[in-house]
């Protein structure tokens, strides 16, 4: 056994984050570490990399007990980590990043030529032939991620921990990174793989360990495991068939049309499209990263103004020249990048919830504190936001709960059309299902929702109708029984016109 963790325990004030967790890693395997947010994955990893100090238990690496005190020390012991956000410096060259801290020196000064030569050598072994003298920031995230892996491996060389390395990559890039990971497995490294994407877990890993509430639930060979059982392990309950037959409802087009976009578009952003939304409908928007999904949403919400076409409801033309106008027209938009565009991390849950409402009322008419408290408590209860109180800073909540607060902010304003861009990104499986259920509830109350997602299963589960976007064009519309994973995939993948049934 390369790395063996026995009875690791870690307690934080009020919670036991890890409760006697065992974990082992063989040389030459990719071992998935799964669990919902708060299950203890990241605590376990942080204890291994020295970011936290464990309270109890032992860690044995290559037969010797270790107690790393810092990430640098863990690296020296042989445990390297690559995080979701590339932890390299975009302002240094690729070579500088790779060799940082151990640059070859001559006469005490850094030997730039040797740095570049060594960097080139390292990257060639990963099949990457790039100009190492360019800034790291000028390369795509996937290449940066591979460089980060190369650095971690060359520094440590025994254990590689990949913490959600693929969260911001598209499919082709994921394949590229996976090829690198597989070649490292062949070299005999032990690799810990943390991801929310179960498909990737099944594609890449040899074994799976599931944590829940700080305890180890199971370690099994991936080949012996199926998806449903894995999710049951993670959630600790049998998965309800909540994600099935909703799209069979074909009565929607008898419902009254609420909004209609005609010839709506903007040059170089999205080609003009037509879209009708009926009351209480969930429209899904599918497509690859960068295909124009988010851009379509931004156009509808006025983040970027449309150059052509118009939007109207039953009463007439709508003004969507900017977000303020769109809000006034009863629109809401929960953007993709929750951390930077969705929440104000330092403000409390209460302030985040009333933010939108207050902005609409204007500063001259402040919402009374009691009213704010009532609103906050109401939504915390209604959306089941898990927090110790309404005054907690939203930045301290988990991703799923942050997303619920963002939803609460819009719900407080009672919009008729809500756009959700990747509402479940970076959210654990449990909260995931809850948010999908919430969307259903909202539409039953008459609200219309547009959901953008890269997870096709999610769209199939929640949407009445799916629009497929490709190369900045709306290429297909699937409804009723045609809303299936296969159909959506086919529409995304086909690059000729014939699949474009509208």
Partner 1 sequence: MNTRALPLYATIAIFLIAYLLCWLQFPNILSTRVIGNLLTDNAYLGIVAVGMTLVILSGGIDLSVGSVIAFSGVFIAVVLRDTSLHPLLVFAMLLAITTAFGAAMGVLIDRLAMPAFIVTLAGMFLARGAAYMLSIDSVPIQHPFYKALQSTYYLMPGKGRLTLIGMVMVLTVIVGMIVAHKTRFGASVYALGGGEQTARLMGVRQGRTTMLVYAFSGLMAGLSGIVFSIYTGSGYSLATVGTELTAIAAVVIGGTLLTGGAGYMFGTLVGVLTMGLIQTYIVFDGSLSSWWTKIVIGILLLVFILLQKGLLKLSQSRLSGAS
**Which residues of this chain interact with partner 1, rule CB under 8 A?**
71-72, 75, 87-93, 96-97, 100-101, 103, 105, 108-110, 112, 133-135, 137-141, 290
Nearer to partner 1, 72 or 493 (CB): 72
Nearer to partner 1, 287 or 400 (CB): 287
Minimal distance, residue 69 CB to partner 1, in Å: 14
Nearer to partner 1, 50 or 332 (CB): 50
- Among 4, 142, 18, 116, smallest CA distance to 61 is for 4
For the chain, the first-to-last Cα distance in angstroms comes to 56
Q: Are strands 215-221 and 190-194 parallel, antiparallel or unpaired?
A: unpaired
Minimal distance, residue 21 CB to partner 1, in Å: 24
Token duo for residue 163: 């913490």
Task: State how far the Cα of 232 lies from the Cα of 455, in Å rounded to an integer.
Answer: 19
CB 281 within 8 A of CB 465: yes
Nearer to partner 1, 83 or 273 (CB): 83
Minimal distance, residue 288 CB to partner 1, in Å: 12
Minimal distance, residue 279 CB to partner 1, in Å: 37
Nearer to partner 1, 82 or 466 (CB): 82
Nearer to partner 1, 91 or 183 (CB): 91
DSSP structure string for 335-357: -S-IIIII--TTSBHHHHHHHHH
Minimal distance, residue 347 CB to partner 1, in Å: 21
Minimal distance, residue 433 CB to partner 1, in Å: 32
Minimal distance, residue 3 CB to partner 1, in Å: 21
Task: Identify how many contiguous H helices and E strands the chain contains and give both numbers.
Answer: 16, 22
Token duo for residue 258: 């609420």
Contacts of 16-23 with C-beta under 8 Å, sequence gap 24+, read: 16/214, 17/43, 17/214, 18/43, 18/44, 18/47, 18/54, 18/214, 19/213, 19/214, 19/215, 20/56, 20/57, 20/215, 21/57, 21/211, 21/214, 21/215, 21/216, 22/216, 23/209, 23/216, 23/219
Minimal distance, residue 100 CB to partner 1, in Å: 5
Residue 248, judged by CB atoms within 10 A of its CB (0-12, 13-18, 19+), counts as exposed
Going by C-beta distance under 8 Å and a sequence separation of 6 or more, which residues neighbour residue 268? 472
Nearer to partner 1, 139 or 261 (CB): 139
Minimal distance, residue 260 CB to partner 1, in Å: 32
Task: State how far the Cα of 81 lies from the Cα of 156, in Å rounded to an integer.
Answer: 9
Minimal distance, residue 15 CB to partner 1, in Å: 25
Task: State how far the Cα of 455 lies from the Cα of 422, in Å rounded to an integer.
Answer: 9
Nearer to partner 1, 52 or 202 (CB): 52
- Rg (alpha carbons) of the chain, rounded to whole number: 25
CB 158 within 8 A of CB 171: no
Residue 55, judged by CB atoms within 10 A of its CB (0-12, 13-18, 19+), counts as middle
Nearer to partner 1, 39 or 115 (CB): 115
Going by C-beta distance under 8 Å and a sequence separation of 6 or more, which residues neighbour residue 72? 50
Burial readout 316-339 (b: 16 or more C-beta within 10 A, e: otherwise): eebebeeeeebbebbbbbbbbebe
Minimal distance, residue 84 CB to partner 1, in Å: 13
């Amino acid at each position: 056994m390369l790395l063996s963790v026995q009875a690791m325990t870690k307690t934080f004030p009020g919670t036991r984050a890890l409760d006697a967790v065992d974990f082992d890693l063989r040389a030459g395997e990719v071992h998935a570490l799964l669990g919902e947010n708060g299950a203890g994955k990241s605590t376990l990893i942080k204890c291994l990399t020295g970011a936290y100090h464990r309270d109890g238990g032992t860690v044995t690496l290559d037969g010797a007990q270790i107690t790393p005190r810092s990430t640098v020390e863990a690296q020296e012991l042989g445990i390297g980590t690559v995080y979701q956000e590339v932890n390299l410096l975009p302002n240094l060259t690729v070579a500088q990043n790779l060799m940082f801290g151990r640059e070859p020196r001559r006469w005490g000064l850094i030997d730039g030529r040797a740095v570049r030569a060594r960097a080139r050598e390292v990257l060639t072994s990963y099949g990457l032939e790039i100009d190492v003298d360019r800034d790291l920031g000028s390369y795509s995230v996937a290449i940066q991620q591979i460089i980060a892996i190369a650095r971690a491996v060359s520094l440590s060389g025994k254990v590689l921990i990949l913490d959600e390395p693929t969260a911001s990559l598209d499919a082709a890039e994921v394949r590229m990174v996976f090829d690198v990971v597989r070649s490292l497995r062949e070299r005999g490294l032990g690799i810990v793989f943390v991801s929310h994407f179960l498909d990737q877990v099944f594609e890449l890993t040899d074994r799976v360990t599931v944590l829940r509430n700080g305890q180890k639930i199971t370690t099994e060979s991936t080949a012996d495991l199926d998806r449903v059982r894995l999710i049951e392990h993670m959630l600790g309950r049998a998965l309800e068939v909540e994600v099935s037959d909703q799209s069979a409802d074909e009565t929607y087009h008898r419902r009254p049309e609420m909004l209609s976009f005609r010839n709506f578009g903007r040059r170089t952003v999205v080609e003009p499209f037509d879209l009708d939304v009926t009351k209480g409908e969930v429209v899904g928007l599918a497509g690859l990263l960068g295909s124009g999904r988010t851009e379509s949403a931004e156009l509808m919400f006025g983040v970027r103004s449309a150059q052509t076409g118009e939007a109207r409801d039953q009463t007439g033309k709508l003004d969507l020249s900017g977000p303020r106008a769109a809000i006034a027209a009863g629109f809401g938009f929960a953007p993709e990048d929750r951390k930077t565009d969705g929440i104000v991390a330092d403000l409390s849950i209460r302030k985040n919830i009333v933010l939108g409402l207050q902005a609409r009322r204007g500063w001259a008419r402040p919402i009374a504190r009691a009213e704010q408290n009532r609103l906050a408590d109401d939504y915390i209860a209604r959306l089941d936001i898990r927090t110790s109180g309404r005054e907690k800073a939203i930045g301290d909540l988990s991703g799923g709960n942050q997303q619920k607060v963002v939803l609460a902010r819009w719900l407080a304003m009672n919009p008729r059309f809500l756009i959700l861009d990747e509402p479940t990104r970076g959210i654990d499986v449990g909260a995931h299902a809850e948010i999908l259920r919430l969307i259903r509830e909202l539409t039953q109350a008459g609200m219309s929702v547009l959901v953008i997602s890269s997870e096709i299963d999610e769209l199939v589960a929640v949407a009445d109708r799916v629009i497929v976007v490709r190369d900045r064009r709306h290429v297909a519309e699937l409804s009723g029984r045609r809303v299936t994973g296969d159909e959506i995939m086919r529409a995304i993948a086909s690059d000729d016109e014939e699949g474009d049934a509208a």
